[in-house]
Structures are given as structure tokens and as C-alpha cells.
Chains A and B, each alone.
Chain A
Amino acid sequence: MTTIRRFCCDDLLRFTSVNLDHLTETFNMSFYMTYLARWPDYFHVAEGPGNRVMGYIMGKVEGQGESWHGHVTAVTVAPDYRRQQLAKKLMNMLEDISDKIDKAYFVDLFVRASNAPAIKMYEKLGYVIYRRVLRYYSGEEDGLDMRKALSRDVEKKSIIPLKRPVTPDELEYD
């Protein structure tokens, strides 16, 4: 019983149980609101009975030419609602919008190289490690740039892994 709908400002007041989790970053207000103002279709919340927030996904669409892509900025699920594939549903939804509405070539995301459970989950969802980004997180930990090709990228060119790692200043976006 999961109602997935657009995230709205009031949800910021109700996502406590999700964000109290130490792995979920609570961004500043302009960060959330810029996403809402620019990419409302990429910011969704999953709600359970009693209007409880189960989890949410925020993302955007950006890039030019063949690097026009959807990007997952954050996806998170409250502890009580884990282990029932909610993140997968939210990811599929964002992929669907990138694919069908915005006709993007791929979806990508960044994950801490040490976050093994998350990497495993993304791999199960069809993401591959496209490249390693050295010291991406606060200049300390490496990040992995993971990608999944969408239908527009017929030859799956966007996900051919890079042979060498890159540094954060070499990133095109973000």
C-alpha cells in the first residue's frame, strides 16, 4: 500500500523517520526547493497508510547531446519499510520518467565506494559501475558513478565503463 506521488514542501515536515537514519543526508532548504522548483517530476515520495512517509527519491535531468540523462540525487527508505523493494519501485519510476518523458539516454547516480549494500542493490537494478571518482565525498572517500542505459541509447554506449578513474573536477555535472 504505497502511494507514490510528487513530493511537496509539507513532506519536509513529515520525513523525519526517514531522515533520522544516519545515512540519509538532510540538505539545506534551498537544495530541496531548487529540486522541487526545477524538476518536480523527479522528486517523489512513497506514502503508507496513515499518511506515513515510507521513503522518497529526488533527482534531476541534465546534460547535452548523448549525455542527456536522468540523475538520482538521493533515494532513501525509512527503517520500518525496508526489505520490501520500495527503493526499486522509486528508482523504476525515475527511470521511467527519464526514459519516456524526457527521452534521456541513461540514468546515473553516485554512491560511496564503501557502501557495499547500496552498490549491490543498484547492480541488481541493472546499474553498472561506469567509473570511479577519486575522493568525491568531502575530499576523502571515492565515489562510484553507476549508470543504467535507457531505451534511447540503443547500443548501450553510455554504460561502457571508463578504464581510468576520474577526479571530481573532471566531472561534467554535479
Chain B
Amino acid sequence: MASKFGMAGGIPERRVRPIWDAVDTRQFKSALKLSTALLSKYPTNPYAIALKALILERMGKPDEALAVCLEAKDRLFSENVSHIDDLTLSTLQIVFQRLDRLDMATCCYEYACGKFPNNLDLMIGLFNCYVREYSFVKQQQTAIKMYKVIGEERFLLWAVCSIQLQVLCGNGDEKLLLLAEGLLKKHTASHSLHEPEGLLVYISILEQQAKYGDALQILSGKLGSLIVIEVDKQRLQGRLLARACDFAAAAEVFEKVLESRPDDWECFLDYLGCLLEDGKRWRGKKNFNHPANYEDSKSRLSDEVFNSRMSKASIFIEKLQAKAIDSFVRCPYLASLEIEKRKRLYLKAQGDKLRDALSDYFCRFGHLACFTNDVEMFVQVLTEDEKKELIEKLNASCESSSTMTTKQLGQLISIFKIQELFGILFTLSIGELETTARNMVKIFCENLPLSRDLDPQENMYGEDLLCLACNVLVQLFWRTRHLGYLLEAIMILEFGLTIRRYNGQFKILLSHLYSHLNSLPLAYEWYKTLEIKNILLETVSHHILPQLLTSPLWCDLSDLLKGYIKFMDDHFKESADLTFLSYRHRNYSKVIEFVQFKEKLEHSHQYLRAMLEAHILQLKQKADSIEEEELVLESLCSGIPLLEFSSEVRLNSLSFNEDTQTRPWWTPTPDDNFLLGSFEGDPSILGDNLFLCQQNQALKMKANARKLIERRSLLPRLIFLSIQSASSLLKENLEVNGSTSDDKNCSELRSLLEKYAGSLGLSFSAAVEEVVGVANGEKTLEARLFLNIVDWMNFTVFLNSWSMSSHEDGLVNVDGKKHHLWHTTDSIIEKSVADKLQYMEPLIKSAGGNLSILIEMITEPLAWHTLIIQSCLRSSLPASKKKKKGGPQDQFTLPISQSIQCSIESLGRTIEAVTEWLREQIDTTEDQCVDVLVALLHKEGCNEGPGQVLYALEALLSCCREQEHNDRISQALRSWNSANVLRNLVTSQKRILSEFHSICESKIKLLQKVKQQI
């Protein structure tokens, strides 16, 4: 019921206003005081009570707030309340929502609507409640009710949208669309439609039912005038015609669009798709607002028809080219490339036309930074010889004059980029590559004066050259394994950032290079300067998150995970309110879009992984104390809810939202790094080119991510059950009979281990054989286990725990053989760590992921195994018996006690070995480390090898005439100091080492303590 004039919730407005003001200015104490005074006058008024609840919630007292809210609700529901207004309900709703009790808010509105039917405010409030709960059916029912009461078009459209949501995002049958169509048809016949978005909804309902003819009829009728921008109408018309397979008519429409929008590339592809009668292009393109995927499919036309259609397209495109007066209209020229490419794919015809068209395009647009992006999908179809010819042609067509212009510089950069894209750089010799990198840096330095008059915030001319030079240097490292090249790549980028500190691509490359050189703190520093926030957390975090996950920088990791998860959770909380905003503002297409987008983010694999890893991180941090670990596990409900993450439905609906285009070529996806493997001298590792390579890697990444999430989601539960299993072992020995719950745990553990092994690609028994084989020395580590060594170590640790409660004496039966798993576990851990250590060079001289794997081994399997030991010992030392003479000793006459003792000894040896290696690294002074790095870059009297590019750069700088630059650049050039870069790198490595060292130290202490307990 609407508030009476000057009244709010039955209370005079003047009494309520000060409370809201105090809340708005966050003066909660005075708000509470005012609220108490108000309640003394209106003790039973639901609005006054609701206000108090609101204040309590804001003060951070959720339990009290909930109790007061429930009191307000009871008052509302009591018989003597004569009216309920939306103000009271919406205030309660705010509090319930913040308390995560949407159901209670809905319940209040449902009650109010039942008591006061036909009240529009209340019904809108109820509709909003259902929007928040994603109850599409109830939304529809409420909207229909409102439509019946008020008869307004908007409520009908609310109902129609709710139906669409049922079909697109719920379990609704497609037949429901017929109902929506019927409702719209009836309303349109009697009242017509007045909102453009209403028309779009109507058309989309028809389109979803493949009633294209009906949709076209409506669009060309009176209602069509609702779409004011003619070209929007034409695009819609074209799409409907194409989906109805009336390709000729559709092509005509798209021609018209192109005449008024000659630069519309999507439209050109639509046009070509129609000429080639390529129905695939429109299949699945249901949502009006969503961008189409580029598809390159062959049509089924005869050669003759195909040729005539392509000629038609060519003639039309030439017309567009002739008319294009704007020198930045690229579409008609790129269209020629598309046509030539199609001809080649369809007719399998060779010839110079595509190459010539590319070369023409270069003459016109080669100086633009986007040239390579524009042509990358066309150059794929060229043969190797054609690629070489093309490069020659491009070089020849570069404009030349005595002084370089920005246009010439742009063209030169494009040629370098194309060479990189073609993989041509991979075929060059080491010497040629060094020359190329030197040349790139030289061109950059020589052309610095071109940027003299630019604002410091603007991109400088030629900055891409430094990225290109960095890439060449990385390749040199890949091929020669000489670390100096990586250092040089870092120098080049650091130098670039000294001149202009805003270049994001330099920072990303540096993050990856420093990560690869085990200088994660520096990598993270550069990453932080990108100021990644909000939605970029979802798309950009992959540049640093995977490295942090396997690092000892637990505080940084925790901050990163918390920030990211909070962003996602906040969005999920507010998303429905924004959906309702779309309803209110009558932008119905956004309603569907918002709901689908929220689902997409909810299914983000990175989000799921982050949630899992945040919990696992806690488990790692507390693993030195079984009591604290159990508290963490308790807060995770013993890991049970996380198991749901590995359900098939969940794993199959994962979304991948990372923007991998910004990643360097040598690590195209977060789980792939070419530099870890060897360079075979064959560019085939990169596919035919980098473009294809990225696509293949993305597919691989998705498959890996599913497996990884599956394994990680099992981990907390495996830890919990293992601890239980270990603690029940000795109890069983004492009590003779095992309890039912122990049996249940044991069988659950077994089934989880089966799943774990499955995600590593083996059956349970094969997995057991594998680890036993390696432990016994029958198989080598390099074989199957090597790739996922940490996962296998984890498997073995939990397997051991399972075997304790499953078989006496810690034996497991595989193929009739019995194996001792305590020994197996010790052996796997010891061998794996020793194997890593064996190949560890001094950190300052090494690159790659060995250190992270070592860190993982210590902070995961070794830590979990130590927990299991702690659990065994604790159960053997019950508090009541601790002081009794002889108690524990008696139990430790059991065979298992010996195994535990051996295990502690083995773990002690393992971790000592790691610590010893760490100490050696830490004991090397910073100066000594810097000297090592300097030596990698300096070779007396040598004209080749690492360092040459850097020398060339510094030499060029020293002879630069200052007057050619502006003050800023001159100052930056003067401040450049390569020695500082090396020193920072060393400091950063030292930090990683010392963090890892302190983790190891605490594990040693723990083992000593445990040893004393025996």
C-alpha cells in the first residue's frame, strides 16, 4: 500500500528521515539511538523494527539483525496489521538479502500479495524477489497477474522474458515459446506494441521457433518502424532471410548495409556467406546481440556457380573501394583478401592473387599497428614458398627515403611481425637471429626522436620493436639454453619501461620472464603495476596466478585469491538487481544477456580453481599442526561440499574466460611453456604458425583444466579421510573391532582414490602397480609418473593411509601380491625429491620450473604424509593414557610403529637434503650472484653470444644527441642502469629462497617433535 502523504510505513516521515540520514552517513550508533527512541513510540510497528534490523546488520551484527527481522516479519504476519506497505517490505528485503536469506524476503512479499491482491507495488516487489532467486516460472506467473490487473505492455514483456529464461537458462520446454508468442500476438492485435525492445523480444521468440517468415512479416509491417536506425533493421532483416535460407534476398539486404557502412566487416562476411549459401554461419546465432564466430566453411556450390558468385562479390567490392574516400576504411580491401582466400580454399587453386592482394593491402595499410592482426587469418593458407616471396615483396614495397617517417617505421615493424607470425625467425641461424635483434633495437633507438613531441602517456613510435627483440632473444635462449639471452630480453624491456613506464605488454612479458627465472616477487611487482581490477581479474590473472600457486609466497597468493573471489561473489550478489534494472528500463534483451553472463562467470574454471586453491592454501599453511588442520577441515565441512566441483555436470559446463591473446608465444596457455622443452629446430611445434598454435593449445588447456579441477576438488576430502583412517588404525588394533563409520570412510577413500587415479589416466589397480613399481625400482620415475609427479606423490600418500584401515599391517593386495605401502610412500617421496635435487643447478644459473615442483613436493605430499603420521601417533597417545607407564610403548611394539619410525627418518633425510641445497643458495652473497649474471652477459672480445644486443643498445644511447630528444626521454636515458636490474633480480630470488627455507625449517622442527613422541 502506498505510503500516505508524509507518512512512511505508518510513521510520520519527519521521524524516519534522520535515521536514514544517519545510516547513509554511516553513523550507525546515532542511528541506533534514534531507532530506539522511535521504537519506544511505535514498539510494534514493523517498519520501525525493520529499520532497527537494518542498522544492526550494518553494524556487523548479523545474528541480532536476523532476530529483529524475524520479529518484524511476525508483526507483519499478525492479524491486527491493517496494511502492509512496500517501504517496510523493501527495507526488510534489503536486510534479508544482506543476510543471504532471500527466501525470507520472498516469503514476506508472498504473504503481503496474498493479503492485498492487486496491489501493484507489492506485486512488483514480489516479481523482483523472484528475479533475485532466479525463479523464472514464478516470475512469469507474477508478471501475468500484473498484466491482467494493469494491462500494461511492459508486464506482458516481463512475462515473455521470464518464459524465454525458462527455455534458455532453465529446464523449460521449447513449447513454452508458443505460449509467449500467443500472448504477444493477442496483445499486439488489440493494443499494438510501443517499445522497440518489445519488438526485438517478439522477433527473437519467433526466431527461436524458426518462424523466420513470420518474423520478417512483422518487421516489414507497421511495427518495423519501431526500429529507428534503418541499418539496424536491415541487419536484422538480412539475418532472418539468411536463417530462412533465402540467401539471394539476404545478400541484397547486406549489400544495402555495406553501401551505407562500407567498413562493416561482419556484414561483409554475412554477405559473402549468403552468396556462398553457407547456412552454417547462421546456425546457433540465436541471440541478437551476440557477436558471431568467424567461420570459414566451404559451400556446396558447383565451381561454375561459385565463380560467378565470387565475381559478383568482387565487382561489388570494387565499387565500394572506388567510393571509399576515407583513407581508414579497411573492409573493402580486406574483403578482396577474403575473396581470394575462399577461392583458394574452394577451388584448391594456386596462383599469385592472394599474395598480390596481401601485398596491395600492405601498401595501403602496412604502416598501421593492426596490420598483422588484420591479415593473420589470410596468411595461414599460403605455402612456405609463397610466404618467403611475400616477405620479399613487402620489403621491396617499403617506402624509402633518407629520413625515416612514422609510416615507414610502421611498415618495417609490420614486416618483422609477419616474419614472426610465419615462423620464419625459427629458421634463422643463431648469428642471424642476433643480428635481427640488434637491428630491431637499433631501429628503435634511432627513431626515438620521432616521439619527441608526444605526450608521455601516448604510445611511442616503435615500441613494438622492443617486444619483437625480446621474443627473438627468448628464442635464442630456447635454442642455446644460454641464460644470458633471457637476461638480455629482460634488460630490453626494463629499458623500454624506463623510457615509458606505461607499456602494459612490456610488463606482461617481464612478469613471465622473471617467473621463468625464479624471480617471482619481481614478476608479481610488475604484474601489480598493471593495476588489474574488477572484470580484468577474470581475464588477466592467468599471467601470474599459476606461478603464485606453486610458490612459497603464501601471503601474496592469499591476497590475490581473496581479491578475485570477492570480486566474483560480489557480482553474483548484485547481478540479479541489475537484471531487474533491465526489466524496469525495458531493455529486455539485456535481461537474458545478464542471466546468461552470470551463469558463464559462475562456471568459470578459474573461479572454481581459485576457490579450491584458497582452501588448499589454508590446509598447506596449517599442515604443521594436526589440530589446526582439523579446524580448517571443519570449516570446510570435511571437504564434502568441494567434492561437488568434480561432478560431471560441473566439469562439462566450465567456462574459459582468460584473454590468452596477451600471452607471449612461448607460453600460449597457463599450463604450457615451450621453454621447458627443447627446441627441435623444427617450427612444427608451433603448428604452421602462431595463430593455429594458439588455438590448439587452448583446446589442450581446457582438457587439462577439467582434470586438474577434478583432482584438486578431491584433495581436502582425501586429507580429511586419510587423517581419520590413520587415527582409526591403532584404535582398531586396540579395540579389535572397527566401527561402521571407519568402514564407510575406508570405502569412500578408496572410491576417491579411484577417481583421482582416473583423472591421471589410470585405473586404480594400474595406478597402484605404477607407484609400487617405481618405489621398488622396477620402473623409473621418468616414465608415466614424471609429468604429474606431485599428483602421483599425493596419490601414494593417501593410498598408504587407505591401506592402513583396509588391510592389516599396511599391506595392499594387488594382483595377488602384497605390498608394503609405508615403504612405497617413503620411497616415492624420497626418490622424487632426490631426482629433482639431482638436476638442480645453482638457482642463479638456472631457469624453469624445478624449484616450484620442489616447493610443491614439500608443501603438499610431504606435508600430508606428515599429517597422517601425526594422526597415527596421536591415536596411539590418548590423553588419558599418556602418563600411564608403558602405554604407548606397548602400542609401538606393533609392526606399524616401525614403519612410522622409518617414515619419519626418511622424511627427515629428504627435507634435510632440500634445506642443504637451499642453504648453499642463500649463503652465496648478492654480489657473488650479480657477478655470475654479469659474466653471463660479458664475454671479453666476443662479437657474438648474449650481451651483444644490450651493448648495441647502450652504445647507441651513449652517442645519441640529447637535443634530438625531449627532456623526459633524455632523463630516462641518463637514469638507465643495467646493473640495478641484475641486482633486483638477485634480491627477488633470495626472497623466494628464504621463504621456502623457512617452510622447510618448520617442517624439520615438526619432524623432530614427532620423533620425540615415539
Contacts and interface: CB of A to CB of B under 8 A. Distances in A.
Contacts of A38: 581, 585, 587
A81 B590 contact: no
Interface string A1-36: 111111011111110110111110011111011101
B264 A48 contact: no
A20 B504 contact: yes
B322 to A, nearest CB: 17
Q: How large is the interface on A (under 10, 10 to 19, 20 to 34, 35 or more residues)?
A: 35 or more
A37 B594 contact: yes
A116 interface: yes
Nearest to B582: A37
A116 B504 CA distance: 22
A65 interface: no
A40 B533 CA distance: 24
A49 B377 contact: yes
Contact of A48 (B268, B370, B661): B370
A51 interface: yes
B504 A13 contact: no
A63 interface: no
A84 interface: yes
B708 to A, nearest CB: 21
Interface in B242-295: 263-268, 289-294
Contact of B263 (A1, A8, A27): A1
B377 A50 contact: yes
Interface stretch (B133-141, B144-152, B536-544): B536-544
Contacts of A33: 575, 578, 581, 594
Nearest to A81: B370
B996 to A, nearest CB: 31
Nearest to A120: B455
Nearest to B596: A9
Interface string A137-168: 00000000000000000000000000000000
Contacts, number: 159
Interface string A41-57: 00000011111101000
Contacts of B575: 29, 33
A114 B585 CA distance: 36
Contacts of A34: 578, 581
A81 B369 contact: yes
Contact of A16 (B326, B539, B590): B539
Nearest to A36: B590
B24 interface: no
B373 A49 contact: yes
A1 B331 contact: yes
B597 interface: yes
A50 B294 CA distance: 7
A28 B533 CA distance: 8
Contacts of B294: 49-51
A13 B534 CA distance: 11
Given A3-B266, A26-B535, A79-B369, A116 B455 contact: yes
A141 to B, nearest CB: 13
A11 B292 CA distance: 12
A12 B266 CA distance: 19
Nearest to B597: A9
Nearest to A13: B657
Contacts of A30: 574, 578
A100 B331 contact: no
Contacts of B266: 3, 5, 47
Contact of A26 (B289, B536, B593, B597): B536
A49 B374 contact: yes
Contact of A20 (B229, B264, B455, B540): B540
A138 to B, nearest CB: 14
Contacts of B369: 79-83
A171 interface: no
A12 B587 CA distance: 19
Contacts of B455: 115-117
Interface in B565-608: 570-571, 574-575, 578-579, 581-582, 585, 587, 589-590, 593-594, 596-597, 600
A85 interface: yes
B581 A100 contact: no
B328 interface: yes
Contacts of B581: 33-34, 37-38
Given A16-B662, A50-B376, A79 B264 contact: no
B267 A3 contact: yes
Contacts of A52: 373, 661
Nearest to B337: A49
Interface string B726-765: 0000000000000000000000000000000000000000
A36 B592 CA distance: 12
A52 B331 CA distance: 14
Residue in B293, B330, B457 with the greatest tally of chain A CB atoms within 10 Å: B457
A28 B575 CA distance: 12
Nearest to A14: B659
Contacts of A40: 587, 589-590
B20 interface: no
Contacts of A47: 265-266, 291
A6 B590 CA distance: 11
Interface string B304-339: 000000000000000000000010101100100000
B468 to A, nearest CB: 14
Contact of B578 (A37, A85, A100): A37
Contacts of B370: 48, 54, 80-81
Given A2-B263, A81-B369, A49 B334 contact: yes
B535 A29 contact: yes
B169 interface: no
Given A2-B263, A3-B264, A38-B581, A22 B331 contact: no
A38 B584 CA distance: 9
B571 A29 contact: yes
Contacts of B268: 1
Nearest to B376: A50
Given A10-B290, A17-B662, A26-B536, A37 B590 contact: yes
A16 B292 CA distance: 19
B659 A22 contact: no
A171 to B, nearest CB: 20
A4 B589 CA distance: 18
A170 B39 CA distance: 38
A84 B458 CA distance: 15
B77 to A, nearest CB: 33
B536 A1 contact: no
A26 B533 contact: yes
Given A26-B535, A81-B370, A100-B228, A8 B264 contact: no
A123 B459 CA distance: 21
A18 to B, nearest CB: 10
B291 A10 contact: yes
B34 interface: no
A96 B221 CA distance: 25
Nearest to B577: A30
Contacts of A10: 290-291, 597, 600
Given A17-B659, A20-B530, A100-B228, A1 B377 contact: no
B373 A80 contact: yes
A8 B593 contact: yes
The 4 closest A-B pairs by CB, nearest first: A1-B265, A9-B597, A1-B331, A20-B504
Given A10-B597, A16-B662, 16 more contacts: A1-B264, A1-B330, A3-B264, A4-B264, A13-B535, A16-B539, A20-B662, A26-B534, A29-B535, A32-B535, A36-B590, A37-B579, A48-B373, A48-B374, A51-B292, A101-B228
Interface of B: 228-229, 263-268, 289-294, 326, 328, 330-331, 334, 368-370, 373-374, 376-377, 455, 457-459, 502, 504-505, 508, 530-531, 533-536, 538-540, 570-571, 574-575, 578-579, 581-582, 585, 587, 589-590, 593-594, 596-597, 600, 657, 659, 661-662
13 contacts: A3-B266, A9-B594, A10-B597, A13-B538, A17-B661, A20-B540, A32-B535, A47-B265, A50-B377, A51-B291, A81-B369, A115-B457, A116-B455
